[in-house]
Chain A
Amino acid sequence: MSKPLDLVQGTLDLLILKIVALQPLNGWAISLRLKQISGDVLQVSDGSLYPALHKLEQEGWITAEWRPSENNRRAKFYSLTRLGRKHLEKESANWDRLSAAISNIVKLKEA
């Protein structure tokens, strides 16, 4: 692994990228989807969602455009870029390895 992962920050980014990868969504919808998917396991406050979105946009992984939402208000919709897709693939692979490694360790039977 090239560098240690910032677990919490990295995880939130990964989740957002994954959610946006499925379809372009606005901030509110992303926050709903986060809760919906992860149930109560992950507590993501809306306060940290928006800075994270801005950071991902800044990195060029997602891109935003303003367009009408379902209730006909203008909202900022985020979608994944080509760069973002690559990053997502890389990060998911990293995540798989990391979680596999950790679960292996956790499942070690005590002698």
Chain B
Amino acid sequence: MRFEHWLYTVPLRLRYLFRRKQVDQELQDELQGHIEAQIAEDIAHGMSPEEARYAALRKIGGVTQIEEQCREARQVNYIQNFFQDLHYGLRQLRLNPGFAVLAVLCLTLGIGANAAVFSWIEGILLRPFPLVAHQERMVAIAGTKLSGDRGATGLARTDVSWLDWQDLQKSCKSFDVFIADRIMGITLNIGDRAERATGEVVSSNYFDALGIRPVLGRGFQPDEDSGRNSHPVTVMSYWMWKERFRGDPDIVGKPQLLNGVPHTIVGIAPPGFYGTFVGYPMDFWVPASMQETFVPGGYQLEDRSGQWVEGFARLKPGVTIDQAQQEVNVIAKGLEADYLATNRGHGIELFPLWKTPFNQAGNLEPTLKTTLAVVFLVLMIACANVSSLLLVRSLGRRHEMTVRMAVGARRGRLVRQLVTEGLILSTLAAGGGLLVAYWCRNALAPIFTPGAGIDVNLKGYMDWRVFAFSAAVCLISTLLFALVPAVQGSKVDIAASLKSESGTAFGSRGKSRVRSALVLVQVSLSFILLVGAVLLVQSVRKIRTADPGFSTNNVLMTRIDLIGAGYDVPRAKDFDDKLLDRAQSIRGVESAALVRVRPFGYIGYFTAPIAVDDYHPAPDEQPEAEYNQVSPSYFATMGIPILSGREFTRGDNETAAQVAIVNERMVTQYWHGKDPIGSRLLVKGKTLRVVGVAKQAKYQTFGEEPKAFFYVPLRQEFSIGANLILRTSQDAGSMSAVLTREFASLDAGIPMLEVVTTREFILRTALASQQIAVTLLGIFGTLAVLLAGVGLYGVMSYSVTQSKRELALRMALGARGQDVLQLVMSRGLALTAAGVCVGAVTALLLSRLIADLLYKVSPRNPWAFGTAFVVMIVASLAACFFPAWRASRTDPVQVLRS
């Protein structure tokens, strides 16, 4: 039925559109035919030809009107009108290039900011893995465990063990693809130089499951993720191949040392594939069988307590993440029941990609969400500005509108014309905005600084969704900025307007009210952005000066990669001893120590089940605590006070009794506040003697709740390759040079990594997402204030021009320039004050949204509101001053005479 309808009508309409002349000609012919038939008939009835012609024309009425009515019946008028409007609008803009450029710039800013942020969201949160199909169905998989501390959720995040992962993969029906991966640092030797690279330990189906076809060689084969260290093969990134191996076409089959183990290069990944880790590009992939070589903690492929797997799965079409989670919960419960010893309290949780907890996606999600809201505000401010400009222009075009209405244009037609002109502006701006977004696609990376020499991969991604989004933004903004001026501009009192011609106009009061309202909106929106920016700046300042519970300024750290250099345990111990001796003898070094995990680093602490003699856990509770392995004089070097007992010494070695130092939280939680020195602590079945209590510190984030934590001597739970910590007043740069020499004299095969102060190291993690938020909000806040200032300036100078006579009259009656200045200024300030009030109320309601990003700053912090208020007032004083000053210089005689 519908189809049959189109069968008749679609060709007709196409013909109307594209064969317009012919159709019109046919219409004329048809009517002409009618008239001639009428004439013929009348002549047959005895009229003279002349008479008959007049009679026929009279009878049919206005031929032109009939033609027009027939044309209207065609229903394609609106398209033709649109093209007419378009043509006319373009001509208008060409006549007024200054206005056009200003308006398009404003809108480009607004639309471009939105497109850029959306492309970041697309490229970082929604579709972070280029070349991988169906990312909308991908979920991240992480482990959970009941936290000993019973925090807010009672759950802490962990990774998943390889065996659990395989069981999950075998029994889970919700997914069609399962990949395991784990980010790793790699030392590779090219020639006689050692370099650092980043890679992933992955399940053997990795490339096939993701649909990634190597450009050279192959991916991994199914058996390559089993057998301890039995498949030393690697796939290299395209970038690495091109840059470091000069695109060697015969590279497949060649050996490459990775972490001291010769690997065979079996394939080259396609260009544009960076692996599956949001934030950093990957250079190498190795199969899971090589886990021991790359993931710290020893061989873990047959150990359910070794949790190291992070990974992704792809939901089958139609399965929701909640349904999948329910199935996964059942499987995890089953695993817990079957392997109580290792899996007690363990669960598995699914996350949408944008909340992935083990890469930067989870960190950046709140920031990018906030930023999207911010750029939307910027867009609204830009729209308000353009709207204001259009209103001014509509005053200039009042005469045109009046004439068009007088000759019969309907008001809707005028509104359509004006909105079409707006659409031209916003379409140009959308084009510009997409360019802006394209230029800015890598803009996040430099703000997000993990440290020197580390590649960051945070790219915006421009796909059709970004284009669609921008088009939508463009249309919405057109409605926002063009509709009000169009309706206002077409509100014309024909008689009055034509009579008074171009004098001060009726209706202008209404327009200035609209413009004032627009300024009010701008001021309030900018105020909101300012409050947000100031809150974030405060929060960053708080973080910068926050006390993590250890010294940060006189302590330098660097990583020593002995695993990568191929050390075994005895050699590593020997190296550690020599290194500490040498480090302590460097001039200016007060003390030196080694530690397995640096606080606030990406690498997590080990967690161990614990038991304490006088502590009786609840039936379903498995007390656990995180711990770190540290060398003697760690506490002195880090500046963590020992509250009771002693620090580790060289005597606490492999042959001595096993000891531990616990933190304050542990004392309150497990010893009920009693001094635990000398009591027993059972860790993984071993008995440790508590020898000291360390002051509570922060371990991973500034925002964390105080958690139970203990330390063991590095020698009693040895780990190859650790971090060197130096207490010194020297700066990182000069110490780096000294250390390079020391390292080289000990072993030239060990790469020298970056030397940083502890403060800088922890700030990188702590500020990672904050820095982006602060920078973006700072930029957009400034832009917003500028735009609002321009808007205010426009309104004030316009109203000064409009009320010239009134001002002149006041002055003629004795007002001084100063009084006029005050009058105008106070009007502008009143407008600002009103805007600030509206903004303050809205900001109070909205600021909860950025609470996630704030550290120890209340989202209602009065200082933030105060600062924003002052900035806004100063900006508006600046914006009003010039118009006010001009008003105060009005020459009453001249004005009143003219």
Q: Mark B93-105, 1 if CB is under 8 A from A, else 0.
A: 0000000000000
Q: Which residue of B lies closest to A58 (CB)?
A: B73
In the bound complex, CA of A26 to CA of B5 (Å): 23
Contacts of B1 in A (CB 8 A): 83
A71 in contact with B30 (CB, 8 Å): no
Q: Which residue of A lies closest to B38 (CB)?
A: A28
B73 in contact with A31 (CB, 8 Å): no
In the bound complex, CA of A27 to CA of B62 (Å): 17
- Of A14-22, A46-54, A94-102, A103-111, which binds chain B? A46-54
- Of B63-71, B140-148, B350-358, B712-720, which binds chain A? B63-71
B845, CB-defined interface residue at 8 Å: no
Contacts of A26 in B (CB 8 A): 33
Contact among B26, B37, B59 for A76, CB-based, below 8 A: B26
Contacts of B60 in A (CB 8 A): 45-47
With A47-B65, A51-B69, A55-B73 as known contacts, state yes or no: A28 contacts B8, CB within 8 Å: no
A58 in contact with B75 (CB, 8 Å): yes
In the bound complex, CA of A83 to CA of B37 (Å): 30
In the bound complex, CA of A66 to CA of B30 (Å): 10
Contacts of B5 in A (CB 8 A): 59-60, 83
Q: Which residue of B lies closest to A57 (CB)?
A: B12
In the bound complex, CA of A17 to CA of B517 (Å): 56
A51 in contact with B73 (CB, 8 Å): yes
Contacts of B613 in A (CB 8 A): none
In the bound complex, CA of A28 to CA of B56 (Å): 12
Q: Mark A37-73, 1 if CB is under 8 A from B, else 0.
A: 0000000011100110011011110010010010101
A58 in contact with B9 (CB, 8 Å): yes
Q: Which residue of B lies closest to A51 (CB)?
A: B69
Q: Mark B801-835, 1 if CB is under 8 A from A, else 0.
A: 00000000000000000000000000000000000
B4 in contact with A75 (CB, 8 Å): no
Contacts of B242 in A (CB 8 A): none
With A46-B59, A51-B70 as known contacts, state yes or no: A82 contacts B4, CB within 8 Å: yes
A50 in contact with B12 (CB, 8 Å): no
In the bound complex, CA of A59 to CA of B8 (Å): 8
Interface residues of B in 51-101 (CB under 8 A from A): 59-62, 65-66, 69-70, 72-75
Contacts of B26 in A (CB 8 A): 66, 76
A81, CB-defined interface residue at 8 Å: yes
Contacts of A60 in B (CB 8 A): 4-5, 7-9
Contacts of B30 in A (CB 8 A): 27, 50, 75-76
Contact among A47, A57, A83 for B61, CB-based, below 8 A: A47
Q: Which residue of B lies closest to A45 (CB)?
A: B61
B544, CB-defined interface residue at 8 Å: no
B65 in contact with A63 (CB, 8 Å): no
Q: Which residue of B lies closest to A63 (CB)?
A: B8
B167, CB-defined interface residue at 8 Å: no
* Most chain B beta-carbon contacts within 10 A, residue among A58, A59, A81, A83: A58
A28 in contact with B37 (CB, 8 Å): yes
A74, CB-defined interface residue at 8 Å: yes
Q: How far is the CB of A12 from chain B (nearest CB, A)?
A: 13
In the bound complex, CA of A75 to CA of B66 (Å): 18
Q: Which residue of A lies closest to B37 (CB)?
A: A28
B4 in contact with A83 (CB, 8 Å): yes
In the bound complex, CA of A57 to CA of B31 (Å): 16
Instruction: For the complex, count residues of A whose C-beta is within 8 A of B.
Output: 26
Contacts of B59 in A (CB 8 A): 46
With A27-B30, A46-B60 as known contacts, state yes or no: A54 contacts B73, CB within 8 Å: yes
B62 in contact with A47 (CB, 8 Å): yes
Q: How far is the CB of B897 from chain A (nearest CB, A)?
A: 58
In the bound complex, CA of A71 to CA of B44 (Å): 14
With A46-B61, A54-B70 as known contacts, state yes or no: A81 contacts B8, CB within 8 Å: yes
Contacts of B172 in A (CB 8 A): none
* Most chain A beta-carbon contacts within 10 A, residue among B8, B59, B65: B8
Q: How far is the CB of A64 from chain B (nearest CB, A)?
A: 9
Q: Which residue of B lies closest to A55 (CB)?
A: B73
B66 in contact with A27 (CB, 8 Å): no
In the bound complex, CA of A76 to CA of B22 (Å): 14
B8 in contact with A74 (CB, 8 Å): no
Q: Which residue of B lies closest to A28 (CB)?
A: B37
Q: Which residue of A lies closest to B74 (CB)?
A: A58
Contacts of B72 in A (CB 8 A): 51
In the bound complex, CA of A46 to CA of B75 (Å): 21
In the bound complex, CA of A59 to CA of B1 (Å): 12
Contact among B7, B33, B61, B74 for A75, CB-based, below 8 A: B33
Contacts of B34 in A (CB 8 A): 27-28, 31, 46, 50
In the bound complex, CA of A27 to CA of B821 (Å): 74
Q: Mark B1-19, 1 if CB is under 8 A from A, else 0.
A: 1001101110010000000
In the bound complex, CA of A47 to CA of B9 (Å): 24
Q: Which residue of B lies closest to A62 (CB)?
A: B8
* Most chain B beta-carbon contacts within 10 A, residue among A51, A57, A74: A51
Interface residues of B in 338-353 (CB under 8 A from A): none
Q: Mark A81-95, 1 if CB is under 8 A from B, else 0.
A: 111000000000000
B62 in contact with A71 (CB, 8 Å): no
Q: Which residue of A lies closest to B67 (CB)?
A: A50
In the bound complex, CA of A52 to CA of B59 (Å): 17
In the bound complex, CA of A96 to CA of B146 (Å): 78
Q: Mark B399-426, 1 if CB is under 8 A from A, else 0.
A: 0000000000000000000000000000
In the bound complex, CA of A82 to CA of B3 (Å): 13
In the bound complex, CA of A45 to CA of B65 (Å): 13
Q: How far is the CB of A71 from chain B (nearest CB, A)?
A: 7
Q: How far is the CB of B64 from chain A (nearest CB, A)?
A: 11
Contacts of A73 in B (CB 8 A): 33, 36
Q: How far is the CB of B269 from chain A (nearest CB, A)?
A: 57
Contacts of B62 in A (CB 8 A): 47
Q: How far is the CB of A98 from chain B (nearest CB, A)?
A: 24
In the bound complex, CA of A31 to CA of B59 (Å): 12
Contacts of A66 in B (CB 8 A): 26
Q: How far is the CB of B187 from chain A (nearest CB, A)?
A: 75
Q: Which residue of A lies closest to B63 (CB)?
A: A47
Contacts of A28 in B (CB 8 A): 33-34, 37-38
In the bound complex, CA of A82 to CA of B7 (Å): 12
Q: How far is the CB of B418 from chain A (nearest CB, A)?
A: 29
B29, CB-defined interface residue at 8 Å: yes
B40, CB-defined interface residue at 8 Å: yes
Q: Which residue of B lies closest to A59 (CB)?
A: B9
Contacts of A76 in B (CB 8 A): 26, 29-30, 33
Q: How far is the CB of A8 from chain B (nearest CB, A)?
A: 15
In the bound complex, CA of A71 to CA of B12 (Å): 28
A74 in contact with B31 (CB, 8 Å): no
Q: Mark B296-331, 1 if CB is under 8 A from A, else 0.
A: 000000000000000000000000000000000000
In the bound complex, CA of A51 to CA of B31 (Å): 11
* Most chain A beta-carbon contacts within 10 A, residue among B4, B31, B37, B65: B37
Contacts of A46 in B (CB 8 A): 34, 59-61
In the bound complex, CA of A57 to CA of B29 (Å): 17
Contacts of B4 in A (CB 8 A): 60, 82-83
In the bound complex, CA of A81 to CA of B61 (Å): 30
Residue numbers of B with Cβ under 8 A of A are: 1, 4-5, 7-9, 12, 26, 29-31, 33-34, 36-38, 40, 59-62, 65-66, 69-70, 72-75
The 10 closest A-B pairs by CB, nearest first: A60-B8, A47-B61, A51-B69, A54-B73, A28-B37, A55-B73, A54-B70, A46-B60, A60-B9, A76-B30
Query: Assuming A50-B31, A50-B66, A76-B29, what are 4 further A-B pairs, CB within 8 angstroms?
Result: A47-B60, A47-B65, A51-B73, A66-B26
Ordered by A's residue number, 29 sampled pairs between the chains whose C-beta atoms are within 8 Å are A26-B33, A27-B30, A27-B34, A31-B34, A45-B61, A46-B60, A46-B61, A47-B60, A50-B30, A50-B31, A50-B34, A51-B66, A51-B69, A54-B74, A57-B12, A58-B9, A59-B9, A63-B8, A69-B33, A71-B37, A71-B40, A73-B33, A74-B29, A75-B30, A75-B33, A76-B26, A76-B29, A76-B33, A83-B8
Residue numbers of A with Cβ under 8 A of B are: 26-28, 31, 45-47, 50-51, 54-55, 57-60, 63, 66, 69, 71, 73-76, 81-83
